[in-house]
Amino acid sequence: MAFRSWNQKNRLIPSANEKKGGGRKPLTQIFPELADRLLVILKDHTAGDPMRQEVKWTNLSRRQIAQRLKESGTPANKNVVSKLLHKLGFRRRKPQKKRTMKQHKDRNAQFENIARSG
C-alpha cells in the first residue's frame, strides 16, 4: 500500500511507490474492438435527421446496448456505452409518448366553450 505524506502547505506528496499513469486502463484500450462491436449492435437500431447527416440516435437504451455487448463477449457498463455513443456522434433523443389519450365524451363541448369565451 502506498502512503502519502503532507508537505508544509498541506498538499499531498506522492510516495515513491506510485507511478504516473497508474490505475485501471480504459475498456477501449483493453478491448480495442469495443467501438466496432458497438456499431454492429447499432446497425439495425440507428436513425437520424435527414436534413443533418451528423445527427443520429438509437432506439436502444444504454442498458440494452451494454447487455448486448456483454452477450457478444465484450463487457461494458452503461457509463462506458454512454461515453462511446457520445464519441461516435450519437445524441440522446427525447422519448415520445407511447400511449394515446382516449377521447373525452365532452371534447367538442370544451372547444365550443372556448370559442364562446374568446
SS3 assignment, position 99: coil
Q: Which pTM was predicted?
A: 0.59
SS3 sequence of the chain:
CCCCEECCCCCEECCCCCCCCCCCCCHHHHCCCHHHHHHHHHCCCEEECCCCCCCEEECCCHHHHHHHHHHCCCCCCHHHHHHHHHHCCECCCCCCCCCCCCCCCCHHHHHHHHHHHC
Per-residue pLDDT tens for 23-78? 788 887 888 888 899 999 998 888 887 888 888 888 899 999 999 999 988 888 99
Could you report the per-residue pLDDT of 69-109, keeping only the tens digit for each? 999 888 889 999 999 999 888 877 766 666 766 777 777 88
